[in-house]
Each structure stands twice: as C-alpha cells, then as structure tokens.
Structure 1
Amino acid sequence: MRLTVIGCSGSTSGPASPSSCYLVQAEGPDGFGGTRTWSVVLDLGSGAFGGLLEHVEPAEIDAVALTHLHADHVVDVAGLHVYLRYHPQGPRGPVRVLGPEGTDERIRDLVMAGDDEPVTEQLAIEEWPPGGAVQVGPLRLEAAAVRHPVPAVGIRVTGPREGVGDAGDAVLLYTGDTDSCPGVEALADGADVLLAEAAFEENRESVRGIHLTGRRAGELAQGRAGRLVLTHLPPWTRPEVVRAEAEAVFDGPIDMAEPGATWEL
C-alpha cells in the first residue's frame, strides 16, 4: 500500500500546496484472473485536482472518500466532475464518492446541477454506511465520527503490506479534521502511519473541538502508531512549531507532509 500526498495545506490552498488530498494505492486482483492498481483518493480540496492528474487517470479512480464537506476537503470534486463529463473522448465514469450526510446535496451545489440534472453518470455518490466499513478492491476503508464543528469522520485504510509476503496488512489512519476524541483514538490503534492534521499551535489557539495541534497529534500517535506524518497546516501555521510540539511527546519518526511525498507501507 502506498500513500502519496497531493495537497496538504489546511483551511485554504497555500503558496506551496493545494488543500487536503491524499492518494492511496495498492495492487490487487482485478476480478478477471489478473492484478491491477487500485486507487482511493482521501479528500479532494481546493486546487488538488490538477496535482492528482500527475499521478492517476481520473476515470481509473476507484473511490473518492470524503472526511467532511468543508471546501478545503471537497471543492475540487467539481473539477473531477467536469473532467469526467466533458472529456473530448467522451463521458467517463462513474467514480464512486463516499461522504457524510449531505454529500449529494453539497456536490450538486458545487457542480451547479439543476434539480432535474443527474450527476450519477459521472459520480456515484453514497453516504458512509452504518459502521463505516467499505471494501475497495484490496483496500478496506473504515470511517468513524471525529470531533469537528460539522459532521466529520476519520478514515482507517487497511491494505496489503508493500513487498512483504504474509506479514499482515498495513494500516494507515487519516484523521481528517478533528480535535482529540475517542473516535480518532480508536482508529489510530496499531496504525503503521498516522496522517494527522495539525492546524493549530499550542500557544496560539485555545479554542477546542476544531483541530489538533502538533502536541495533540503527537499524543495521539504515542503508543498507537509507528510513524507520524503532520499535515493540514494553514499558510499561517509554522511547521517548525508543530513539529517541535509533536517531538516533545512522540518518540517515533515524524515527517512533514508535502506534495509528491510518498510512503510505502
């Protein structure tokens, strides 16, 4: 299983990165006796669709999994829709889109679809099922509610371990946007990589229930995850500050997300 960062800026696109978007891929059976690459996109925020084109043909995306419906996580679904509907070689799709309650209405607003205009030919939109577990080829996606001002989930992805025979599956946990909470703690247990947002700084924001700090991301990783990747930093958040906060409480390896960075799990 491979994780590639497409966009990692938080709250808005930044000077060096689009907003939240991550590509998870794994090799698995194609259903016809062979194998192929399966691709899942975690969030598709502002400016991210252009970067995604460098890594995957959009019509070959197996699922777009949305953590919540804020613009910096969902708005470029409109770009995906345009690509699939108006491609000069003819309409493509549909691409499966998973999201929280209200996803269909949100996407219809983004693509400016009229009441009688279907989007299902390009986007097969569905809400996360009860229990939040979905199988996409060799990848198992588990979503659980996390702590944010709007309905939001974290996503745990389980898939084949890269280059290893029967050593068990690899686990990635993507927090989405959340403050510390039991839901994200349960998802993080046993993760090889914890992809954790860290939009806030400890000595700058005192409000709770919105985002993690570097320290709170480190506390989430400690004793639960093998590696911590800090992401979703707005342009005004200092990477050196959140990294230092995480290092003070997490004794494993820490990376800062940047577009194009890849991890083999």
Structure 2
Amino acid sequence: MRLTVLGCSGSTPGPQAPSSGYLLEADGFTLGVELGNGTLAELQALRDPFTLDGLVFSHLHPDHCADFTALTVLRRWHPSPPVDPRVHRLPVYAPKEAPTRFAAAYAPDEAELAGTDLTDVYDFHPLAPGTQTIGPFTMTTAEVDHPCDAYGFRFTHNGRTFTYTGDTAVCDTLDDLAHAADTLLGEASWTHSPVRPPGVHLSGRELGELATRASVGRLLITHVAPWTDPAAVLAEAQETYEGEVALVSRGATYDL
C-alpha cells in the first residue's frame, strides 16, 4: 500500500495548506480518503480525478468533504471525460446522510435542491461498523467520538495494516482499530490541556498514548489546526510513544 497526502490541515485550510485528503493505493487501485477544502486542486496536480476508483469519508465536516461539490461539477459537466461518469459511477462510502448533504451543498438554491440527485454519477454506500472489501483492501469501520456521525478505518492488504483515526476524542474503538497496525495515521488537532472540550479531538499526548497501547509500528500525525504549533504536538507524541513518529505534510508519500 502507498499513502499520498493531498492535504492535512485540521479544522480549516491554512496558508498553502489544504484540509484533509489522502490517496490510498494498491494493485493499481486508487481510493480517496477524505476530500476537504483545497484537495481537489492537489489531486489534479497528481492525476486525473476520473482515475479514482472509490472515495471514503470519515464524517461530513467541510474540512473533510468540502471539495466533493467541485468533484461533482467535474463529473457532471466535463465536456470530454476519459470515462463516462454516468456509466462508471464512482463508489462513495460515507455516513448515511451523505447523499442529501452533498446534494444540498451542490444545489444553488432550495428550488433546485428538490430535484438534485447525485446518484447519476455516484454510487453511495452508507457506512456502518463492520468489515467490507473495497477493491484490494479489506476495510474495517468503527464509530468514533466526534460531534457528528463519524468513523475510523482499518485497511489491510497483503499482510499489511493501516489505520486512520478520522476525527475523534479518546475512545475504546480506536484501540481495536489501531491494534498492531503497521502504520497509524492519527489526528492531533491541539496540545494537551484540561480546558480542551471533550468528545472532539485528540491531543499529541493522547495520540502517542494510543500508539503505545496499540503497539503500532509507525505513527503519522495529521490534522494539526493552523493555530496550533505542530512542533509542540509532535513533542507530546514523542514523549508518549517510543516508535517512529512524524508529522505528515502536503504532497508526502509513504509506503505502508
């Protein structure tokens, strides 16, 4: 498996820093994981968006899915697409409200919303806890602790395991998803403090503690907010996890 970072800014995009978006690839199959603010431009700099084989969304906050609307314009209105998007509908794995939420984001007004159905170019699959096959990947999905319907994922392929936390506070399901993973891509939006609101995000310290409890092989930190010092988040994780740890960056690739 190979991971490419399209963007990794947490909560909002930052200067020249798109929000969350990743590509997970294996055996010629490309799975998009999140498509937040600014990530479609990054994707187009790397490849034709029509080559995506599927999309997965952990939850429906804009910093994880805002560019889905732009992708919809591309898929519906491109004058000469390399494949017919109405014949080859893109599979989208997302929380159950995604079809109506994405239609509302795409429609210019309430009158048009009533007739907006994006299933002409997308094949929506509602997420639920459990395991399914997507292309060459086995994906295990679990609910996590965030102020909306939100999920974390565990991907396995050819004996290797990659876990992505999505956005979440500390919860038991994270330990199961991350257990003995070769690589953990985890969000840490802020530094550790008792004044942080509960049930929203992980701190660098909490993410490092998760990686230690789960005995992961490598920790990659993502989703640091533009107003948070990334070096401080990294230092917290390094204090609580003794393995390999790094902050991801836009355009970086990782062999998993």
Q: Which TM class, normalised by the smaller chain length? A: over 0.9
Contact map agreement 1:200 1:214 (CA 8 A) in 2: yes
Give the structure 1 partner of residue 210 of structure 2: 220
Aligned-pair RMSD on alpha carbons? Answer: 1.4
Per-residue displacement from partner, 1:172-228 (whole Å, max 9, x unpaired)?
A: 111000011011111000111110000021137432110000000000101421110
Structure number with the higher helix fraction is 2
Is 1:138 the counterpart of 2:168? The answer is no
Is 1:69 the counterpart of 2:69? The answer is no
- 1:157-236 to structure 2, matched below 5 A, reads 157-160=155-158, 169-203=159-193, 205-224=195-214, 225-236=216-227
Give the structure 1 partner of residue 17 of structure 2: 17
Partner Cα distance (1:58, 1:204) in 2: 42
| SS of equivalent residue, structure 1 residue 17 | coil
| SS of equivalent residue, structure 1 residue 241 | helix
Contact map agreement 2:175 2:213 (CA 8 A) in 1: no
Partner Cα distance (1:102, 1:205) in 2: 32
**TM-score (normalised: structure 1):** 0.89
**Where does structure 1 lack aligned partners over 5 or more consecutive residues?**
28-36, 161-168
Contact map agreement 1:49 1:79 (CA 8 A) in 2: yes
Change (3 A) 1:52 1:182: same
Question: By how many angstroms is 1:48 displaced?
Answer: 0.7
Partner Cα distance (1:123, 1:66) in 2: 14
Q: How many residues align?
A: 247
Give the structure 1 partner of residue 236 of structure 2: 245
Question: By how many angstroms is 1:137 displaced?
Answer: 1.7
Give the structure 2 partner of residue 45 of structure 1: 36
Partner Cα distance (2:100, 2:141) in 1: 20
Is 1:107 the counterpart of 2:102? The answer is yes
**TM-score (normalised: structure 2):** 0.92
Partner Cα distance (1:263, 1:179) in 2: 25
Give the structure 1 partner of residue 121 of structure 2: 122
Partner Cα distance (1:134, 1:39) in 2: 16
Identity, in percent, stands at 37
**Where does structure 2 lack aligned partners over 5 or more consecutive residues?**
none
Contact map agreement 1:103 1:126 (CA 8 A) in 2: no
| SS of equivalent residue, structure 1 residue 179 | coil
Change (3 A) 1:152 1:49: same
Partner Cα distance (1:79, 1:86) in 2: 11
> Aligned letter for 1:131?
P
> Aligned letter for 1:173?
T
Contact map agreement 1:99 1:127 (CA 8 A) in 2: yes
* Regions of 4+ moved over 6 Å: none
Per-residue displacement from partner, 1:106-132 (whole Å, max 9, x unpaired)?
A: 11111116322331121212201x433
Change (3 A) 1:66 1:56: same
> Aligned letter for 2:99?
D
